Structure 1
Amino acid sequence: MAMLNPAHPGEILREDLLKPRKLSVTGAAKALGLSRKTLSEIVNGKSPITPDVALRLEQAFVKPPADMWLRMQLAFDLARARRRFRAKSVRRLPGQNMASRTMAEA
């Protein structure tokens, strides 16, 4: 399976929204109602985009919408987890056919 390395959504925020508008982290943080430290950690990939931050970004920039910010964060987090995951530490459980039916019904 090919491993994807999606960008942290903070990088997208920095490169696609802040830089083109010539917004500083300080100015954007103030407009978003966040501390400079919080926004700096997000745009530098050290902190995640939370649902609260996603809603603030949606209100400030309109697009992308909050759910897209959260999907980007989920994709980033899942890719990072896949890189770190050790499949050998997990034992398969019996009853996979039943699990498949349950998942199909969900």
Structure 2
Amino acid sequence: MTIHNPAHPGEILKELVIEPLQLTITDVAAHLDVSRKTLSKVLNCRASISPEMALRLELVFGKPSADHWLKLQNAHDLWMTRQNKSALNVEPYKALVA
């Protein structure tokens, strides 16, 4: 079974929330009380959704919840980290033979 790369939550925000509502990045940034540059970084997958940003999104859009945004971010981050797990340079403990 092949597990695919979970979408970055910024892509989801852009494609499923901002674009369908025909909102501008400038307007959404103003409603979130963040800079346009900050929001743009999230939307272009160059920045993660922080707990603060997740709560801002929940307060502005209602749904999905902040918890959901953070779960999306965590799934994406974990998948990305797993792609480079050999760089962690760790190995499992060997079972002790009695």
When normalised by structure 2's length, the TM-score is 0.90
Task: Kindly indicate whether residue 31 of structure 2 is the aligned counterpart of residue 12 of structure 1.
Answer: no
Structure 1 residue identity aligned to 2:48: P
SS at match of 2:92: coil
* Corresponding residue of 1:51: 51
- Percent identity between the two aligned chains: 46
* Corresponding residue of 2:62: 62
User: How far off is 1:85 after superposition?
Assistant: 1.2
Structure 1 residue identity aligned to 2:36: R
Structure 2 residue identity aligned to 1:5: N
Pairwise CA RMSD: 1.9
Task: Kindly indicate whether residue 37 of structure 2 is the aligned counterpart of residue 22 of structure 1.
Answer: no
User: How far off is 1:72 after superposition?
Assistant: 0.1
User: How far off is 1:95 after superposition?
Assistant: 6.7
* Corresponding residue of 1:84: 84
Q: Where in structure 1 are there 5+ consecutive unaligned residues?
A: 97-106
User: How far off is 1:2 after superposition?
Assistant: 2.1
Q: Where in structure 2 are there 5+ consecutive unaligned residues?
A: none
Structure 2 residue identity aligned to 1:23: L
Larger deviation: 20-29 or 84-93?
Answer: 84-93
User: How far off is 1:45 after superposition?
Assistant: 0.4
Distance 2:80 2:74 in 1: 10
User: How far off is 1:84 after superposition?
Assistant: 1.3
Structure 1 residue identity aligned to 2:47: S
* Corresponding residue of 1:104: none
